[in-house]
Structure 1
Amino acid sequence: MFSKISRFLGEVKNELRKASWPWESDPKIKGFRKYRELVDSTVVVLIATVLLAGFVSLWDIIHTQVIFFLTKLGR
């Protein structure tokens, strides 16, 4: 069992070495500039998430009000 886990982790490590990581590999670049692409991508995802949450919330409020209005008409 441990040999399977060890082999699996070794394969994962090899695959991660092949991956393209979203930061600079230049050793001269230090600090946040090294992670510029990562930070930019994270900001885009956060903005998109907030916009989507707002859109869904707006439609939820609209549909709730429409259903409330329609059920009030039926009384």
Structure 2
Amino acid sequence: MIGRTRKFIVEVKAELGKAQWPWDPREKGFKRYRELSDSTVVVVVAMLLLGGYVATFDLIVVNLVGLLTAP
């Protein structure tokens, strides 16, 4: 059991060593996470734009169907 756990931890460390992190380890403070924060802002803005587009399209379709099916 202990041998398998140790092997697992060694393999995890090896895989994490291969990973490319989104920051430069030599930088300090908030600058270290610049790429990460920029990417997060891009994702949030894209989600807001897509949500606005879907909401607007839904509003148009609901009103159009309401006009076509009104008695």
Fold match by TM threshold 0.5: yes
Rounded Cα–Cα distance in structure 2 between residues aligned with 1:54 and 1:13: 43
In structure 2, the CA distance between the partners of 1:20 and 1:64, relative to structure 1 (3 Å rule), is same
What is the rounded CA distance, in whole Å, between the counterparts of 1:62 and 1:9 in structure 2? 55
**2:38 matched to 1:62?**
no
Query: Identity, % of aligned pairs?
Result: 49
Any idea what the Cα deviations from partners look like across 1:23-50, whole Å, max 9, x if unmatched?
1121xx2111011000100000000010
User: Higher relative contact order by CA 8 Å / sep ≥ 6: 1 or 2?
Assistant: 1
In structure 2, stretches of 5+ residues that fail to align are none
Q: Flag as ranges the 4+ runs of structure 1 deviating above 6 A.
A: none
CA RMSD across the alignment: 2.0
TM-score (norm 1): 0.76
Deviates more, 1:10-19 or 1:55-64: 10-19
**Structure 1: tracts of 5 or more residues without a match:** none
Q: Distance in 2 between matches of 1:8 and 1:68?
A: 60
